[in-house]
Structure 1
Amino acid sequence: MTTDTLPGRGLLIVLNPKSGRDRSHDDPRPLIERHVPGATVHDLADGEDLARVVDAAMACEDPPTAVAMHGGDGSVSTMAHTARRHDIPLLVLPAGTFNHFSRAIGIETVDDALAAYLAGRRRRVAVAEVRADDDEPITVLDAVTLGLHPGFVAERKRRVDRLGTWIGGAAAAWRELRDAQPIRVGRGGRHARVWSVFVSVGANDEARIATLQRITLGDDRLDVRFHHARGSHTRAVASLAFGRKTTAVLRFLRLLPPESDIERMLLDDLDLTVHRAAGGELSFVHDGELVQRDGDAFRLRVKGIADALEVYTPE
């Protein structure tokens, strides 16, 4: 078999060694070498820009026809944005802590991903784009969040190197429980104090408040949930639970906020003014990536885009 006919020829695989650092992820190279020996593999160096890696490859005489990302939700989201710019399909090799998007498309393991690639199974999925003030839009695969969740992510990031994601997450939850303050958001002339805002791609599970993982692929509407600041800190932090079982337990224990505190809507686009909480930071999160803003307020716009990204899927 010649190099030109090796399986995987035309596939650029980028490995992010920092993803899922406290989870046990096997080295994907043996699987890659066995199943797609013709692929080009690039190890992302510390501080290296993922988009520039792909842009450089696309500028070569023999550019890739597909890109793959071995990483977590943030890395996959960044690669999706780059794949959209170059109009090439994306293969997701899950290697993060949560892997929300890979699970949404039915890929649980690297084996699943490579099997989907070799079978040539692809489909187009909806995404969202988020824009802060006049910044360039950012591709969103799962969700955009405001309020408590960005605060939780910021606290977890401060602790992850020392405590790991799970213990760091528990410490972050305790800090949020103790110090959290509502934020003020404005939409269409109406203002409200809220603990959190969750914006997911496509209609989501009605039983959850924290819709961090999408459950549809073709729906380009935005599922928006405002958690109004009427209840306790404890219920506000409990609302961040996104697992089905955890949510059910918290609801049984009556730790989740009442339905009257949650405002839900399905929209084509969302335009908010976000104000800094008293003594807090001004920030938002998209697909697990924290973005911090200067000043006392910023404008956040999110819109859904149909059939915006082609991905490899098991079915």
Structure 2
Amino acid sequence: MDTDDVTGRGLLIVLNPSSGRDRSHEDPRPLIDRRVPEATVHELSEGEDLVDVVEAAMVGEEPPTAVAMHGGDGSVSTMAHVARRHGIPLLVLPAGTFNHFSRALGIETVEDAIDAYVADRRRRVAVAEVRADDEDPITVLDAVTLGLHPGFVAERKRRVDRLGTWIGGAAAAWRELRGAEPIRVGRDGRHADVWSVFVSVGENSAARIATLQRITLGDDRLDVRFHHARGSRVRAIASLAFGRKTTAVLRFTRLLPPESDIERTLVPQLDITVRRGADGNLSFVHDGELERRDGEAFRLRVEGIPAALEVYAPA
């Protein structure tokens, strides 16, 4: 990286003001102005499309040589897809509720991210691509989920503006506890009723069921967990816990489902059919983004892609 690049020249930073509304994230612009004053900063307005902003910049007189996203996991995942398409590196400026991918990179704050950029610390990481039926593939940085988790995400999105992230999450969990139903998945000629399916990028912790945050960066295998619908709704909802402490408490109190209910496999790709559950749910989630499906069933394919994305990350 030459001296001009250290000032931020060639870096397009997109800010998503709707990310992390329930967290006390500081405005990153004073830090950006001080550390990378020549970066181009664009704040998304209501209804503005992130992809359109980047594509317009790429056909401008001085297209960016790197892109940065200040937002949550869904925004970062979308920006990663655009960065891959143009073959330029991605800088992640955490601003969401969970920041799963930035934490996997070792980035806890915006300053951590800018430190990595100024030092030109880059590495290539594996990603996954998910495809529903014959639609275009979507880049996945952390996980794809089916079953209870998409229903929980949908309920939480409905309640978070009024109740906040954590209370809204609790209310969503209570709603799912009352009405959750299994979905039916088919794979390799076998069919099963399951509460949830979790597909993590790279091998993940054996202690968890809800593998929503990756723990490796170079592993392009898929760590797939099928939670078979043998136990109670209480255990099914408890299985959505992804924090280490919460998972440990639930295991100690015997609320987590037994290991015999979890079918785990490490594969390079996954190809399944998904049928609508009794509760009418037919959807999936990728990196926290909910995708609703029509009809009675759909085909879902997920494939790990090695060294597919260049990112800035601490040493």
Q: Which category of TM-score, normalised to the shorter sequence, fits these structures?
A: over 0.9
Displacement of 1:225: 0.2
Task: Show the counterpart of 1:296.
Answer: 296
Give the Cα–Cα distance (whole angstroms) in 1 for the partners of residues 203 and 170 of structure 2.
Answer: 29
Secondary structure in 2 aligned to 1:236? Answer: helix
Q: Give the aligned residue type for 1:120.
A: D
Q: Are residues 1:180 and 2:187 paired?
A: no
Task: Show the counterpart of 1:24.
Answer: 24
Secondary structure in 2 aligned to 1:135? Answer: coil
Task: Show the counterpart of 2:34.
Answer: 34
Displacement of 1:239: 0.2
CA distances 1:230-267 after superposition (whole Å, capped 9, x unpaired): 00000000000000111000000000000000000000
Displacement of 1:52: 1.0
Q: Are residues 1:201 and 2:201 paired?
A: yes
Aligned residue runs from structure 1 range 44-193, under 5 A: 44-193=44-193
Secondary structure in 1 aligned to 2:164? Answer: helix
Give the Cα–Cα distance (whole angstroms) in 1 for the partners of residues 204 and 79 of structure 2.
Answer: 24
Secondary structure in 2 aligned to 1:171? Answer: helix
- Alpha-carbon RMSD: 1.0
Q: CA 1:7/1:249 → structure 2, altered by over 3 Å: closer, same or farther? A: same
Give the Cα–Cα distance (whole angstroms) in 2 for the partners of residues 142 and 22 of structure 1.
Answer: 22
TM, length-normalised to structure 2: 0.98
Task: Show the counterpart of 1:240.
Answer: 240
Displacement of 1:160: 1.2
Q: Give the aligned residue type for 1:43.
A: E
Larger CA deviation: 183-192 vs 159-168:
159-168
Give the Cα–Cα distance (whole angstroms) in 2 for the partners of residues 67 and 178 of structure 1.
Answer: 43
Give every structure 1 segment of 4 or more consecutive aligned residues whose post-TM-superposition deviation is greater than 6 Å: none
Give the Cα–Cα distance (whole angstroms) in 1 for the partners of residues 163 and 280 of structure 2.
Answer: 23
Give the Cα–Cα distance (whole angstroms) in 2 for the partners of residues 148 and 6 of structure 1.
Answer: 45
Secondary structure in 1 aligned to 2:197? Answer: strand
Number of aligned residue pairs: 313
Q: Give the aligned residue type for 2:174.
A: W
Q: Give the aligned residue type for 1:102.
A: S
Structure 2: gaps of 5 or more residues: none
Displacement of 1:279: 2.6
Give the Cα–Cα distance (whole angstroms) in 1 for the partners of residues 273 and 160 of structure 2.
Answer: 31
Q: Do 1:6 and 1:37's aligned partners in 2 also have CA atoms closer than 8 Å?
A: no
Secondary structure in 2 aligned to 1:271? Answer: strand
CA distances 1:280-315 after superposition (whole Å, capped 9, x unpaired): 221000000000000110000000000000000011
CA distances 1:174-197 after superposition (whole Å, capped 9, x unpaired): 001110000000001100000000
Give the Cα–Cα distance (whole angstroms) in 2 for the partners of residues 232 and 299 of structure 1.
Answer: 27
Q: Give the aligned residue type for 2:15.
A: L
Q: CA 1:51/1:252 → structure 2, altered by over 3 Å: closer, same or farther? A: same
Give the Cα–Cα distance (whole angstroms) in 2 for the partners of residues 5 and 296 of structure 1.
Answer: 51
Give the Cα–Cα distance (whole angstroms) in 1 for the partners of residues 257 and 135 of structure 2.
Answer: 34
Task: Show the counterpart of 2:11.
Answer: 11
Q: Give the aligned residue type for 2:191.
A: H
Percent identity over the alignment is: 82
Displacement of 1:60: 1.0
Task: Show the counterpart of 1:212.
Answer: 212
Give the Cα–Cα distance (whole angstroms) in 1 for the partners of residues 76 and 6 of structure 2.
Answer: 25
Q: Give the aligned residue type for 1:112.
A: D
Secondary structure in 2 aligned to 1:27? Answer: coil
TM, length-normalised to structure 1: 0.98
Q: Do 2:180 and 2:279's aligned partners in 1 also have CA atoms closer than 8 Å?
A: no
Q: Give the aligned residue type for 2:306.
A: A
